[in-house]
């Protein structure tokens, strides 16, 4: 026990020393507003790719979605495919290059400002900033929860202490280091995550008998688990951990619309990721970052989903129960429980550092974006005061964002990590994605058109999450309090259909219609936006 404690202390101290050093270097190099907001637009492709990947892959992906794979199985690997195709290749090659050039042409420092300057609308900037500042705490909270749950399980440390402690650590280097502090620490943390997840992938197949035998054991498991459990799962469309659920069933709609499409498509509209395209000098850096980012995302998400699904084999062989039985129905605890039970303490501590890295890299970006949304996009747009004042407001906004995330970490229910992540991705997709798409690729899009899509898409998405989508509506409890019903529409499949399936197409159509009905943008402005694109 003493040796285990000494190992833990050494690992944590080395990690924290590296983070402090990298944060210090970033602080020394942060001298202007451009440095604080877009890292001086001179980020190395390796740092950019790892920062993007580490920001994208948080504890919600590893713990939340990994645990969810313990429930839904290998079908979740379709999300890995979409993450690479959409989140890396399409994002970098198509959106990234145009975002970088248009952002440079217009002098945009944040994602809302990029959209605002592209369409000459101050409303877009402050409204988008408000959506980010008030909506993103949900995502930040579930990332915090993922880390705190692992620390609780591995170290037997009180959940609330873990929650507050990590929030404070992240807040300090984001407040003082700006985006340089975020990106430098992201690159460090992404490197740690990469190495440890390789070890974990090898370990899970070693434990379950190899790739072929392990996957076959998972396939066979559907025939040997208790009949009452399989009957209940089958009634909702479950067909096994290595096959897709029955088409159109509640299981299928949740897996496909919420977990796969909600996150796989919603990644394009993430403001904390989009702003990174404006931090490199040229398209060459983006091209170089594609391969690094693709390999990183493949290993991070693929490993988490495979381990979550195969944990059922391990738990059934050693305890006679499937993963959800072992953790009392809370999928957020499946990955922590597997690591604690199946692997030696030293690896559990290394994995804790991996999750700490994943959480800190994502949280740092989220808190930074929330702070700049309040300081630069809302405060500066409303008051027209620039420079030091907006940076001070941004830092205050980061502090407020941290406090809100911690409070939500106390209040949100179990099994919320994956659902909370998907909710935020769906909101941003409905609000920003059609506007972002047309900002980059359709010169005929007008200010009236994109504002209509922004407002209506946001409103429909929030309404659907609060009143129709069952998992979020039940977790929030607002519909029940106002109407006495868990959801407004009980008929299947609507309670299991994610808001992205409804709100995003409507926002897209509204944007096109209103753009075609209103006066085209001025050619002079378009020439400025698309110069060199």
* Digit-coded pLDDT (tens) for 520-529: 999 999 999 9
In angstroms, rounded to a whole number, what is the distance separating the alpha carbons of residues 409 and 159? 10
> DSSP letters of 238-255?
---TTSPPPTTSHHHHII
CA dihedral 422, 423, 429, 430 (to 10 degrees): 150
Going by the DSSP 8-state scheme, the letter that residue 95 receives in this structure is I
The residues of the chain scoring below 50 in pLDDT are 1-2, 33-42
- Answer whether residue 327 is part of any domain: yes
- As a residue count, the chain comes to 533
The closest alpha carbon to 18, from 165, 178, 187, 166, belongs to 187
Q: What is the pLDDT of residue 92?
A: 86
pLDDT for position 432:
95
Query: According to DSSP H, which parts of 320-344 are helical?
Result: 323-326, 334-342
Q: Is residue 163 part of a domain?
A: yes
Helices (H), 58-158: 59, 66-72, 77-82, 97-106, 111-119, 122-155
**Is 457 a domain residue?**
no
Q: Is the Cβ–Cβ distance between 257 and 496 less than 8 Å?
A: yes
Give the residue numbers spanning the domain of 265.
2-423
Number of domains within the chain: 1
- Asked if residue 517 belongs to a domain, the reply is no
Predicted local distance difference test score (pLDDT) of residue 39: 46
**Which pLDDT score, from 0 to 100, does residue 23 have?**
64
Burial (0-12, 13-18, 19+ Cβ within 10 Å), 203: middle
Q: What is the CATH number of the domain that holds 360?
A: 1.20.1730.10
In a domain, 174, yes or no: yes
d(CA 460, CA 468) in angstroms, rounded, equals 11
Structure tokens given for 348: 């559990």
Cβ atoms of 458 and 504 within 8 Å: the answer is no
Residue 467 within a domain? no
What's the CA gap between 241 and 333, in Å, rounded?
A: 18
Q: Is 504 left (phi over 0), alpha (psi -120 to 50) or beta?
A: alpha
Residue 436 within any structural domain of the chain:
no
Is 315 within a domain? yes
């Amino acid at each position: 026990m003493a040796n285990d404690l000494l190992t833990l202390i050494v690992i944590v101290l080395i990690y924290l020393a590296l983070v402090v050093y990298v944060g210090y270097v970033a602080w020394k190099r942060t001298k202007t507003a451009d440095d604080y907001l877009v890292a001086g637009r001179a980020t190395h492709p390796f740092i950019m790719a790892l920062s993007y990947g580490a920001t994208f892959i948080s504890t919600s992906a590893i713990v939340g979605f990994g645990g969810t794979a313990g429930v839904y199985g290998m079908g979740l690997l379709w999300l890995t495919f979409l993450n690479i195709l959409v989140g890396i290749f399409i994002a970098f090659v198509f959106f990234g290059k145009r975002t970088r050039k248009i952002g440079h042409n217009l002098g945009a420092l944040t994602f809302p400002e990029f959209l605002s300057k592209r369409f000459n609308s101050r409303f877009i900037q402050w409204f988008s900033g408000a959506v980010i500042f008030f909506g993103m705490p949900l995502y930040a909270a579930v990332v915090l929860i993922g880390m705190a749950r692992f620390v609780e399980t591995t170290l037997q440390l009180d959940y609330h202490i873990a929650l507050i402690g990590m929030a404070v650590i992240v807040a300090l280097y984001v407040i003082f280091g700006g985006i340089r502090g975020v990106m430098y620490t992201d690159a460090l943390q992404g490197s740690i995550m990469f190495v440890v997840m390789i070890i974990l992938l090898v370990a899970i197949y070693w434990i379950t008998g190899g790739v072929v035998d392990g996957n076959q054991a998972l396939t066979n498991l559907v025939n040997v688990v208790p009949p009452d459990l399989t009957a209940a799962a089958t009634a909702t469309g479950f067909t096994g951990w290595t096959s897709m659920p029955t088409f159109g069933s509640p299981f299928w709609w949740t897996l496909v619309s919420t977990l796969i499409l909600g996150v796989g498509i919603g990644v394009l509209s993430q403001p904390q990721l989009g702003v990174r395209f404006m931090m490199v000098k040229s398209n060459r850096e983006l091209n170089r970052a594609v391969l690094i980012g693709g390999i990183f995302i493949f290993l991070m998400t693929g490993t988490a989903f495979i381990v979550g699904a195969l944990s059922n084999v391990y738990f059934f062989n050693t305890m006679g129960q499937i993963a959800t039985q072992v953790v009392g129905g809370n999928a957020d605890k499946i990955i922590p429980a597997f690591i604690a039970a199946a692997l030696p303490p030293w690896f559990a501590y290394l994995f804790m550092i991996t999750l700490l890295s994943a959480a800190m890299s994502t949280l740092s970006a989220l808190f930074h974006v929330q702070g700049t949304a309040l300081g630069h996009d809302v405060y500066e747009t409303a008051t027209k005061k620039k420079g030091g004042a907006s940076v001070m407001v941004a830092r205050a906004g980061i502090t407020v964002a941290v406090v809100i995330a911690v409070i939500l970490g106390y209040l949100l229910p179990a099994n919320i990590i994956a659902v909370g992540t998907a909710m935020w991705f769906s909101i941003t997709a409905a609000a920003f994605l059609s506007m972002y798409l047309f900002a980059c690729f359709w010169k005929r899009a007008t200010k009236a058109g994109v504002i209509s899509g922004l407002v209506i898409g946001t409103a429909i998405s929030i309404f659907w999450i609060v009143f129709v989508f069952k998992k979020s509506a039940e977790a929030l409890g607002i519909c029940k309090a106002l109407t006495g019903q868990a959801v407004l529409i009980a008929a299947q499949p609507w309670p299991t259909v994610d808001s992205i399936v409804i709100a995003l197409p409507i926002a897209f159509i509204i944007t096109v219609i209103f753009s075609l009905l209103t006066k085209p943008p001025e050619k002079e402005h378009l020439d400025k936006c698309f110069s060199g694109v």
